[in-house]
C-alpha cells in the first residue's frame, strides 16, 4: 500500500532511476556514448597538484564535515571521496606530500583505504604514514576548522581541495587557503556555503557539478551514461515546470495536485 | 603613503581592524542609526498592545546558544512589553533542553519576580520533552501533561493555572525558535484551536514563516536582530539589539565600501599602466 | 579569591582572543586554543559515543535478551560491525570493515535520495508552478528553465538549447551573490554577541593587553626583518 | 573469504538501501520498524568508528611527544584536555552535570563562537580581494551582493526606500530561479550517484575497488 502523498515520489524516483540505468546500459554496450562537458575545475586538479610539486609544498584535502550516513549530504560525502581518489593518485604520482584532514569518524576508514591504495599502486606504500597522511581532527565542525586552518598555515600548503558537505566553516577554510597562497578547487551541495567557495576559491564545482564529476572521473567511461540520464531527468523537470505553469495560468492546478499525491 | 599603498601592503590586517572598530564603537557608544519598522514586527507589537487584563500569552522559549545572538534580544523585548501590560498572564514553556536556562536568565534580567507575582501573573513551565507530540499534549490538556512547573511546584498550587487548561485558554502564542519546531504551534494550536500565533525567528527561517504571514495564519514575525531592534524602539527601551543594529549597519557599509574600493583600485591601476 | 563564574569568563575571553590572533598570524596562542579545542571536542565525542553505545545498543540488547525480543537481540549486529571496522588497520584483513561501511553508506545514500527527491525535486517543481500573469512570474519561469539548462552536461543537448545555458550561468551567479550577502547578518550577529559578552569587566581589560602583545610582536618582527 | 565478504557488503548495500527507500513510499509496519532499526544501527556503528579516530589522533600526537617533534608541547595539551573531558563525562555520568557543563562552556563554546564569528572578518577580506568585476558574470554576482547588503542593513532603507525593494526583488528572483535549479540538480545528481553506489558501479565510497 502506497503512503498518501508519496505516489508522485515513487513514480518520479522510479522513472528517473530507470532513465539513468538505461543510459548506463546503452553507454556500457557502446550503443550511445554521450559527450560530457567536463568542469574546468576537474582539469585544474592536476594543474594545482603539479604546481604544488614544483614548489615542493604539500597538497591538502578535506572531504567535508558531513558523515557517511548523513541524511542530507551523504551523496556529497560520497562524491568528495571519489574526488579524493583522483586527487590522491595525482599527488602520489607527482611526489608531493598529501595531507587529508578528516572530521567525521565514519569517513576516516574509507579515506584511509583510498589513500593507502593510491600509495600502494604507485609503489610508494612506505610514504603513507598511519595517522599522519590521513589525519583525524575532530567530529566537531569548529574543532575541525581550527585544526585544518592551523595545518594550512604551518605546512604552507600550495594546493587545497575542499569537497563534500561543509557547513559554516567553509569560508574560514577557503579564506585561510587563499591567505597562504594555495590554489584551491572546491565543491559542495550545501547551497548556503557554495557562495563562500565560489568567492574564495579558484574553481568551484557548483552543486550537481560535483556529483557529476564523480561519474566522469571514473576510469570506466560507461559511467558517463548516468550523467546523460541526469540531463534527461532535468529536461523532464523543465517540461513539467513549463507545462505546469501554462496549466496554472489557464486555471488548472492538476499538475500541482498530481505532484502532491 | 596613500590608502591604496597601505591596503596593498597588508590589506588583511587593515581591513580586520576596520571591521573590529565598526563593530566595537557602536557597542561602546551607540550611534542610534535609524531602523525602519517592518509591518511584520508591528503585527506582534499591535497584538500585544491589544491584550486586555486576564488574557493569556504563551511564550515558546526555544532559545539555544546557537541562536541566542539573534533571538534572545527579541525575547527580552517582548517579555518586557508583556510585563508592562497589567493583568496579562504569561506562560513560559520550551521544548529545547537549553530553553529553561534562557527563560530564567531573561526573567531575572527583567526583574520579573519583583514586578509581578509568580503563579498569579506568570509561570515558567520549563522544558517539555517530546517535540511536536509535547506541544499537541500541551494544547489538549496542560494538567494531564504536566504536574509541576520548572521549579517543581505543583501546578495546582499556582492560582493562574486553574483557569488555563488547554489551547482554548491561550489568547496568543509567540514562539521564539530557530528550527522546524516553529511549525509545531501552527499545526497544533492554530490548526486545531484557532489560537493566534506569532514568531520570533532567526533571519534564515523568515522566508518560510513569511508565507504563513501573507496567508493571514500568523499575526506577526520578529525577524532576527533587526526585528528585535525595531521592537526595542517601539517599546521605547533601546537595548542590545539597537546597539547591535548600529554595528550591523556600519559593518554592511564597510563591506560595500571594500567591494567598491577593490574595484576602483583595479580600474585606476589599469590607467596608470 | 575569584569565583568559578569569573574564572570561566576570564578563561573563555582569553581563548576568544587567542583564537582571533590567527587574523594577525599563526602563533603559539592560537595553537593553544586549537589544541584545547580538538582535545575538548574529541573528548566530548567519545563521552557521547560511549553513552550512545550504552543506550542505543547495549540496553536494547539486554532488554531483548531478557524478553526474547528479536529486534532487541538484533542490536548485537551493529556492535559486531562496529568492532569489525578496526580491521581497517590490518592490510591483510582490511576487507572485514567493508560490510560496516556498506551499512553506513546505504543508510546515508537512501535517506538522502528520499529527502532530496521529495523536498528538492518535487517540492521545487511545485513551487515553480505560478500563473504567468505577472512580469515577475514570467521572469521566474524563464530564469529557472535557463538555470536548469545550465546544468545539462551532454554537449549536443546543451548546444540545442542555444544561448539559454549561458543565461542560466548568469542566473546562478546572481543567486550566489544574493545568498552570499544574505548570510552576512547572521554571522555578524554572532560576532556582536561575542563582543557583547567580552565587553564586561574584568574580561574587558584583556582586550587592550591582547592588542599590545600583537603590536609589540609586529614591531619586533619589522625590526628584525630590517636588520 | 575476502571475496565472499565483499559480496556480502555489496548485497547489504543494495538491500538496506531498498528497505529504507521502500519504507518511505509504502505503509508497512514491519518495514518501518526495520528501517528505524537500520538507522539506529548506523548510529551505533558510527559511535564505534569514533574509536578509530581517537586511535589515529592518539597515535599521531603520541608519536609527536615521544619523538619530540615540532609542536610536541601542544600535543600534550591536546591529549590532557581529551582525557579531562572523557574522565569528567564518564565519572559524572552525564554531559549535563555541572562540572562537565563548566568545562564545556568554558572551552568549547567560546572557541566555537569565535570561529563562527570569524566568518564576518573573512567576508570583509574576501569582499576586498575576490569581488572583482573581471567578467560580466562576476559583475552580476557583485551587484546582487551589494543590493542584498543594502536590503538587509537598516541603513539601506534610510539612504533610499527603493534600495531594499530592489534587494527584495533580487532575492525573490534568486530563490525562484537559481536556487530552484540548484536544488533540483542536487536531487537528481544525488539519485544518480546513489544508484551507481547501490548497484556496485561506484566502489570508491566503500573504500575503493582494492
pLDDT tens sequence across A33-82 = 899 998 999 999 999 999 999 999 999 999 999 999 998 999 999 999 99
For residue D200, give the chain C residue with the closest CA: C102
pLDDT band at B10 (very low <50, low <70, confident <90, very high): confident
Chain C residue numbers touching A69 (CB-CB < 8 A): 104-105, 107-108, 111
pLDDT at B145 over 90: no
Residues of chain B neighbouring C188 (CB-CB closer than 8 A): 23, 247-248, 251-252
Give the distance, in angstroms, between the CA of residue A215 and the centroid of all CA atoms in the same chain: 10
CATH 3.40.50.10160 domain extents, chain B: 39-238
Sequence-distant (≥ 6) Cβ neighbours of residue D208 within 8 angstroms: A85, A113, A114, A117
Mutation target to probe the B interface, by most B beta carbons within 10 A, among C12, C181, C183, C185 is C185
* Mean pLDDT over each residue of chain D, to the nearest integer: 92
Predicted pLDDT of residue D210: 55
Smallest CA–CA distance from C161 into chain A, residue = A235
Residue B113's Cβ-count burial label (10 Å; 0-12, 13-18, 19+) is exposed
The rounded distance, in Å, linking the Cα atoms of A155 and D71 is 12
Question: In this structure, are residues B193 and B166 in contact, taking their beta carbons and an 8 Å threshold?
Answer: yes
Residue B172 is predicted with a pLDDT of 95
Binned at pLDDT 50, 70 and 90, residue B179 comes out as low
Residue from B259, B264, B268 whose CB has the most chain D CBs within 10 Å, to mutate: B259
**Is the pLDDT score of C83 beyond 90?**
yes
DSSP E strands in chain B: the ranges are 56-61, 89-94, 122-127, 172-177, 196-201, 220-223
Contact D112, C64 (CB under 8 A): no
pLDDT of C201 strictly over 80: no
Q: CATH for B39-238? A: 3.40.50.10160
- Cβ-proximal residues to A4 (8 Å cutoff; 6+ apart), any chain: none
For the residues B123-150, what does the mean pLDDT come to? 84
- From CA C33, how far away is CA A150, in angstroms rounded? 10
pLDDT in tens, C152-190: 999 999 999 999 999 999 999 999 999 999 889 888 988
Query: What pLDDT sits at residue B187?
Result: 83
Residues sharing a CB contact under 8 Å with residue A66, sequence separation 6 or more, in sequence order: A72, A73, A74, A76, A77, A104, A164, A165, A166
The whole-number pLDDT of residue A83 equals 96
Q: Domain extents for chain D?
A: 1-93, 131-210
How far is residue A195's CA from residue A184's CA, in Å, rounded to a whole number? 14
In the block, which residue shows the cell 527583567? Answer: B110
Per-residue pLDDT band for C196 (boundaries 50, 70, 90) equals: confident
In chain C, the percentage of residues whose pLDDT exceeds 70 is 100
Beta strands A98-102 and A134-136 are parallel
List own/partner pairs for A242-246 with CB under 8 A and 24 or more apart: A242/C141, A242/C145, A244/C125, A244/C128, A244/C129, A245/C128, A245/C129, A245/C130, A245/C131, A245/C132, A245/C137, A245/C141, A246/C132
List all residues of chain C from 161 to 220 with a beta carbon under 8 Å from chain B.
Answer: 182, 184-186, 188-193, 195-196, 199
- The residues, any chain, with a CB within 8 Å of residue C223's CB and separated by 6 or more, are none
pLDDT of residue C3: 83
Distance CA D169, CA C180 (A): 16
Distinct helix (H) and strand (E) counts, chain C: 11, 0
Sign of the alpha-carbon torsion through A74, A78, A80, A84: positive
Confidence band, pLDDT 50/70/90 cuts, at residue C46? very high
In percent, the amount of chain D with pLDDT more than 90 equals: 77
* Helix or strand (DSSP H, E) at A101: strand A98-102
Mean pLDDT of A221-232: 92
Of the partner residues A78, A198, A238, the one whose CB lies closest to the CB of residue C176: A198
The answer on pLDDT for D1 being more than 80 is no
User: How sure is the predictor about B255, in pLDDT bands with cuts at 50, 70 and 90?
Assistant: very high
Q: Is pLDDT above 80 for B98? A: no
Burial of B27 (0-12, 13-18, 19+ CB in 10 A): middle
According to the model, what pLDDT value does residue A99 have? 97
Domain extents in chain C: 130-227
Q: How buried is residue B18: exposed, middle or buried, by Cβ count under 10 Å (0-12/13-18/19+)?
A: middle
Mean pLDDT computed over A105-120? 94
Is residue B267 classed as helix, strand or coil in its secondary structure? Answer: helix
Mean pLDDT of chain B: 87
The Cα-based distances of C224 to B85, C92, C220, C227 in angstroms read: 66, 54, 6, 5
Q: What angle do CA C127, C133, C137 make, to 5 degrees?
A: 40
Instruction: Give all strands of the β-sheet with A98-102 in edge-to-edge order.
Output: A134-136, A98-102, A59-62, A159-162, A183-188, A203-206
The span from the CA of D177 to the CA of B171, in Å, is 40
pLDDT score of C91: 78
Provide the mean pLDDT of chain C.
92
Vertex B29 angle, CA B27 and B35, to 5° = 70
Q: Determine the Cα angle at A248 with ends A242 and A253, to 5°.
A: 115
Residue D60 and residue D64: Cα distance in Å, rounded?
6
Q: How confident is the model at residue B136 (pLDDT cuts 50, 70, 90)?
A: confident
- Which residues lie below 8 Å from residue B106, measured CB to CB, with a gap of 6+? B61, B72, B75, B76, B79
Q: What is the pLDDT of residue D27?
A: 87
Residue C177, min C-alpha distance to chain D (Å) = 4
Q: Which pLDDT value is given to residue B1? A: 58
Nearest to C108 by CA among D13, A192, A230: D13
Binary contact (B204, C188; C-beta < 8 A) = no
Task: Give residue-wise pLDDT tens across range D81-117.
Answer: 999 999 999 999 877 778 888 999 899 989 999 999 9
As separate numbers, helices (DSSP H) first and strands (DSSP E) second, chain A gives 10, 6
What confidence tier does B273 reach under pLDDT thresholds 50, 70, 90? low
B158-170: pLDDT as tens digits: 999 998 998 899 9
> Which of B82-86, B204-208, D168-172 comes out lowest in average pLDDT?
B204-208
Compute φ and ψ for A116, nearest 5 degrees: -60, -45
Grid coordinates belonging to A57? 609544498
Best probe of the C interface among D34, D84, D107, by most C CBs < 10 A, is D107
The pLDDT-based confidence of B272 (bands split at 50, 70, 90) is low
Cα separation, D125 vs A168, whole angstroms: 17
pTM metric for this prediction: 0.88
Q: What is the mean pLDDT of residues C65-71?
A: 87
Span C131-147, mean pLDDT? 96
The confidence band for C1, taking pLDDT boundaries of 50, 70 and 90, is low
- The 10 Å Cβ neighbour count of residue A106 is 30
Average pLDDT over residues A86-102: 95
Q: Helix, strand or coil for residue A203? A: strand
A–C interface: beta-carbon pairs under 8 A:
195
**Mean pLDDT in residue range D48-75:** 94
Q: What are phi and psi of C2, to 5 degrees?
A: -90, 145
Q: Which chains touch C (3 or more CB pairs under 8 A)?
A: A, B, D
How many whole angstroms separate alpha carbon B204 and alpha carbon A193?
13
Q: What is the CATH number of domain A40-217?
A: 3.40.50
3-state secondary structure of A69: coil
Q: How far apart are CA A83 and CA A186, in angstroms?
A: 10
pLDDT band at D64 (very low <50, low <70, confident <90, very high): very high
Selecting from A9, A142, A240 the residue whose C-beta is nearest the C-beta of C37 gives A142
Average pLDDT estimate for D19-44: 92
Dihedral Cα D77, D78, D84, D85, nearest 10 deg:
150
- Which residues in chain D touch residue C97, judged by CB atoms under 8 angstroms apart? 207
Q: DSSP class of residue D39?
A: H
Q: What is the mean pLDDT of residues D10-35?
A: 93
The span from the CA of B139 to the CA of B184, in Å, is: 11
Residue with cell 534600495: D163
| Residues in CB range of D151: below 8 A, 6 or more apart | D163, D164, D166, D167, D168, D170, D171
Contact C106, D12 (CB under 8 A): yes
Amino acid at each position: 500500500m502506497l503512503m498518501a502523498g508519496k505516489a508522485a515520489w515513487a513514480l518520479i524516483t522510479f522513472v528517473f532511476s530507470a532513465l539513468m540505468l538505461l543510459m548506463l546500459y546503452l553507454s556500457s554496450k557502446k550503443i550511445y556514448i554521450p559527450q560530457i562537458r567536463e568542469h574546468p575545475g576537474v582539469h585544474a586538479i592536476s594543474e594545482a597538484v603539479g604546481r604544488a610539486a614544483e614548489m615542493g609544498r604539500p597538497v591538502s584535502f578535506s572531504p567535508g564535515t558531513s558523515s557517511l550516513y548523513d541524511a542530507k549530504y551523504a551523496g556529497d560525502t560520497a562524491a568528495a571521496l571519489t574526488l579524493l581518489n583522483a586527487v590522491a593518485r595525482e599527488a602520489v604520482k607527482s611526489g608531493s606530500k598529501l595531507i587529508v584532514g578528516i572530521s567525521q569518524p565514519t569517513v576516516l576508514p574509507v579515506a584511509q583505504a583510498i589513500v593507502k591504495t593510491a600509495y600502494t599502486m604507485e609503489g610508494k606504500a612506505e610514504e603513507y604514514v598511519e595517522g599522519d597522511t590521513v589525519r583525524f581532527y575532530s567530529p566537531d565542525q569548529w574543532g575541525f576548522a581550527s585544526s585544518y586552518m592551523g595545518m594550512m598555515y604551518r605546512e604552507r600548503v600550495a594546493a587545497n581541495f575542499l569537497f563534500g558537505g561543509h557547513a559554516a566553516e567553509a569560508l574560514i577554510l577557503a579564506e585561510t587557503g587563499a591567505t597562504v597562497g594555495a590554489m584551491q578547487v572546491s565543491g559542495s551541495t550545501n547551497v548556503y556555503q557554495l557562495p563562500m567557495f565560489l568567492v574564495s576559491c579558484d574553481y568551484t564545482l557548483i552543486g550537481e557539478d560535483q556529483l557529476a564529476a564523480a561519474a566522469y572521473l571514473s576510469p570506466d567511461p560507461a559511467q558517463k551514461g548516468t550523467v546523460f540520464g541526469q540531463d534527461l531527468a532535468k529536461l523532464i523537470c523543465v517540461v513539467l515546470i513549463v507545462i505546469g505553469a501554462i496549466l496554472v495560468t489557464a486555471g488548472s492546478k492538476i499538475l500541482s495536485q498530481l505532484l502532491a499525491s | 603613503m596613500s590608502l591604496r599603498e597601505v591596503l596593498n601592503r597588508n590589506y588583511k590586517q587593515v581591513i580586520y581592524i576596520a571591521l573590529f572598530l565598526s563593530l566595537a564603537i557602536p557597542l561602546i557608544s551607540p550611534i542610534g542609526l535609524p531602523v525602519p519598522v517592518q509591518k511584520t514586527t508591528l503585527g506582534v507589537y499591535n497584538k500585544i498592545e491589544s491584550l486586555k487584563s486576564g488574557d493569556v500569552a504563551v511564550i515558546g522559549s526555544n532559545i539555544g546558544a546557537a541562536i541566542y545572538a539573534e533571538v534572545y534580544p527579541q525575547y527580552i523585548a517582548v517579555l518586557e512589553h508583556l510585563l508592562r501590560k497589567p493583568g496579562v498572564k504569561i506562560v513560559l514553556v520550551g521544548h529545547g533542553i537549553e530553553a529553561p536556562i534562557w527563560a530564567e536568565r531573561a526573567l531575572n534580567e527583567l526583574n520579573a519576580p519583583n514586578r509581578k507575582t509568580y503563579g498569579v501573573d506568570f509561570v515558567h513551565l520549563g522544558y517539555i520533552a517530546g517535540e511536536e507530540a509535547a506541544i499537541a499534549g500541551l494544547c489538549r490538556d496542560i494538567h494531564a501533561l504536566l504536574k509541576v512547573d520548572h521549579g517543581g511546584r505543583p501546578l495546582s498550587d499556582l492560582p493562574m493555572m486553574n483557569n488555563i487548561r488547554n489551547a482554548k485558554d491561550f489568547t496568543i502564542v509567540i514562539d521564539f525558535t530557530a528550527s522546524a519546531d516553529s511549525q509545531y504551534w501552527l499545526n497544533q494550536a492554530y490548526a486545531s484551536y484557532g489560537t493566534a500565533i506569532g514568531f520570533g525567528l532567526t533571519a534564515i527561517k523568515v522566508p518560510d514563516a513569511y508565507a504563513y504571514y501573507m496567508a493571514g495564519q500568523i499575526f506577526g514575525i520578529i525577524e532576527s536582530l533587526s526585528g528585535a531592534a525595531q521592537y526595542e524602539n517601539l517599546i521605547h527601551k533601546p537595548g542590545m539589539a539597537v546597539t547591535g543594529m548600529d554595528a550591523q549597519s556600519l559593518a554592511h557599509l564597510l563591506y560595500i565600501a571594500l567591494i567598491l574600493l577593490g574595484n576602483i583600485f583595479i580600474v585606476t591601476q589599469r590607467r596608470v599602466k | 579569591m575569584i569565583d568559578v563564574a569569573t574564572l570561566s569568563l576570564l578563561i573563555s575571553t582569553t581563548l576568544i582572543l587567542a583564537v582571533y590572533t590567527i587574523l594577525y598570524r599563526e602563533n603559539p596562542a592560537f595553537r593553544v586554543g586549537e589544541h584545547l579545542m580538538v582535545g575538548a571536542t574529541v573528548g566530548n565525542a567519545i563521552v557521547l559515543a560511549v553513552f550512545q553505545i550504552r543506550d542505543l545498543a547495549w540496553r536494547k540488547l539486554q532488554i531483548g535478551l531478557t524478553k526474547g525480543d528479536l529486534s532487541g537481540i538484533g542490536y548485537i549486529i551493529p556492535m559486531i560491525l562496529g568492532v569489525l571496522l578496526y580491521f581497517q588497520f590490518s592490510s591483510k584483513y582490511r576487507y572485514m570493515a567493508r560490510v560496516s561501511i556498506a551499512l553506513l553508506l546505504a543508510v546515508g545514500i537512501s535517506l538522502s535520495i528520499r529527502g532530496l527527491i521529495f523536498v528538492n525535486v518535487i517540492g521545487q517543481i511545485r513551487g515553480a508552478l505560478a500563473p504567468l500573469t505577472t512580469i515577475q512570474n514570467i521572469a521566474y519561469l524563464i530564469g529557472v528553465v535557463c538555470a536548469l539548462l545550465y546544468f545539462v552536461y551532454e554537449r549536443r543537448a546543451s548546444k540545442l538549447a542555444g544561448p539559454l545555458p549561458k543565461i542560466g550561468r548568469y542566473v546562478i551567479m546572481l543567486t550566489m551573490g544574493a545568498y552570499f550577502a544574505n548570510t552576512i547578518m547572521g554571522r555578524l550577529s554572532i560576532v556582536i554577541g561575542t563582543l557583547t559578552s567580552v565587553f564586561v569587566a574584568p574580561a574587558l581589560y584583556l582586550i587592550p593587553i591582547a592588542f599590545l602583545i600583537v603590536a609589540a610582536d609586529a614591531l619586533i618582527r619589522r625590526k628584525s626583518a630590517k636588520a | 573469504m575476502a571475496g565472499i565478504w565483499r559480496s556480502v557488503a555489496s548485497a547489504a548495500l543494495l538491500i538496506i538501501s531498498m528497505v529504507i527507500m521502500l519504507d518511505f513510499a509504502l505503509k508497512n509496519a514491519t518495514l518501518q520498524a526495520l528501517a528505524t532499526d537500520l538507522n539506529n544501527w548506523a548510529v551505533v556503528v558510527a559511535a564505534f568508528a569514533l574509536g578509530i579516530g581517537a586511535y589515529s589522533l592518539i597515535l599521531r600526537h603520541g608519536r609527536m611527544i615521544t619523538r619530540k617533534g615540532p609542536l610536541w608541547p601542544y600535543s600534550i595539551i591536546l591529549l590532557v584536555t581529551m582525557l579531562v573531558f572523557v574522565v569528567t563525562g564518564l565519572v559524572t555520568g552525564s554531559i549535563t552535570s555541572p562540572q562537565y557543563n563548566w568545562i564545556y562552556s568554558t572551552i568549547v563554546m567560546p572557541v566555537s563562537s569565535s570561529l563562527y564569528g570569524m566568518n564576518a572578518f573573512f567576508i570583509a577580506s574576501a569582499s576586498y580581494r575576490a569581488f572583482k568585476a573581471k567578467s560580466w558574470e562576476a559583475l552580476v554576482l557583485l551587484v546582487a551582493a551589494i543590493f542584498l547588503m543594502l536590503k538587509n542593513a537598516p541603513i539601506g532603507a534610510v539612504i533610499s526606500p527603493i534600495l531594499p525593494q530592489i534587494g527584495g526583488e533580487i532575492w525573490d528572483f534568486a530563490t525562484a530561479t537559481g536556487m530552484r535549479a540548484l536544488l533540483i540538480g542536487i536531487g537528481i545528481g544525488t539519485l544518480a550517484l546513489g544508484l551507481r553506489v547501490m548497484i556496485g558501479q561506484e566502489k570508491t565510497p566503500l573504500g575503493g575497488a582494492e
